[in-house]
Structure 1
């Protein structure tokens, strides 16, 4: 069985994943995996060099994030080209990991929902003011910048519509009870 957890920036999906891990459920972190693969995969490094140029890695093989970011932000086509290299590698790595649960902030935007046949998708949501406050505190940025980050992602309403379950992480709702309910429903249906 494959289960994805998604939600926009500041929704608290990583916190929900930590609660799952406290229950003994290992969750594959797509962001961490992408960073690891860009550091360690020879194939991925060769593909990125062919696309971006040799300067994307230093002579000793260290990813040059400013070079990658400059290329990525230069155009939508560049962003899509990078994604077409990194996302399939992450999907393959997840498939080889043996883990059932995957965390991805951009599950639908990245196409992971089409690359991997998920049995269930869980969306973590939170009210916009709560999300902004979390982002501001975590990343030490202005509320306006946090709002911009939220606005470039798929709306949480749209993500929720494509999901099987939603967890309301508003700082008041009982997360453990919501997780219990989802785990119970998944067990009943399988």
Structure 2
């Protein structure tokens, strides 16, 4: 069984993945994998250079983040064009990685939910998310709201997910994770061998 974990910016999904790792469950990080593949895959390099131009990479072969970002932000079509190159590579990498769990910020938006059997969303109140993003990235409240506003509404993701973990700083994450793993036999059975 494969399980996907998602959640909007500032929800704390990466922290939940850290708690899962402490329980012996390693989680594949789609964002980190995308960055790694864009740096190391010759196929991706060729396709990105074909799309953006040779300036997508520096003379010494490093990803030119400024050029990529500029291209991405120019239009939705550009962002989709990059996604159409990177997402299939990440999906293939996940499926061949040996991991059963994945962390993906855009699990439903990207269609990566189709790669897993069950989905979990990590949620938090908007004001808590704003404060976390402001503190983490040293940005203004307006910028944090803008970033959150660009993503799917949390309520939409909750409707699609199989399970919800609330990371509001009040409810115990450990208790919620333990309940999830122990109560839902189909997930527990898969994870139990890892403990």
Do they superpose with TM above 0.5? yes
Separation in 1, partners of 2:73, 2:7: 23
Partner-residue secondary structure (3-state), 1:124 = strand
**For residue 57 of structure 2, what is the aligned residue in structure 1?**
57
Shift, 1:186, TM fit = 3.5
Residue 132 of structure 1 is matched in structure 2 by: 130
Q: Match of 1:69? A: 69
- What is the TM-score with the length of structure 1 in the denominator? 0.96
Q: What TM-score results when the alignment is normalised by the length of structure 2?
A: 0.94
Shifted more, 102-111 versus 127-136: the winner is: 102-111
> In structure 1, how many angstroms separate the alpha carbons of the residues matched to 2:138 and 2:130?
11
* 1:60 partner SS: coil
Give the corresponding residue for 1:79.
79
CA distance in structure 1 between the partners assigned to 2:61 and 2:185 by the alignment: 45
Instruction: Provide structure 2 residue ranges, at least 5 long, that are not aligned to the other structure.
Output: 190-195
CA distance in 2, matches of 1:59, 1:10: 36
Structure 1 position 148 matched with structure 2 position 117: no
Provide the secondary structure at the position in 2 that maps to 1:167: strand
Q: Per-residue displacement from partner, 1:74-96 (whole Å, max 9, x unpaired)?
A: 11110000000001100100001
Distance 1:188 1:89 in 2: 29
Root-mean-square deviation (CA, aligned residues, Å) is 1.0
Aligned residue in 1 for 2:19:
19
- Residues 85-124 of structure 1 mapped to structure 2, 5 A cutoff: 85-114=85-114, 116=115, 118-124=116-122
What SS does the aligned partner of 1:58 have?
A: coil
Query: Runs in 1 of length 4+ with deviation above 4 angstroms?
Result: none
* Cα-to-partner distance string for 1:49-98 (whole Å, 9 max, x where unaligned): 01010100012110000100111111111000000000110010000110
Counterpart secondary structure, 1:97? coil
Aligned residues: 188
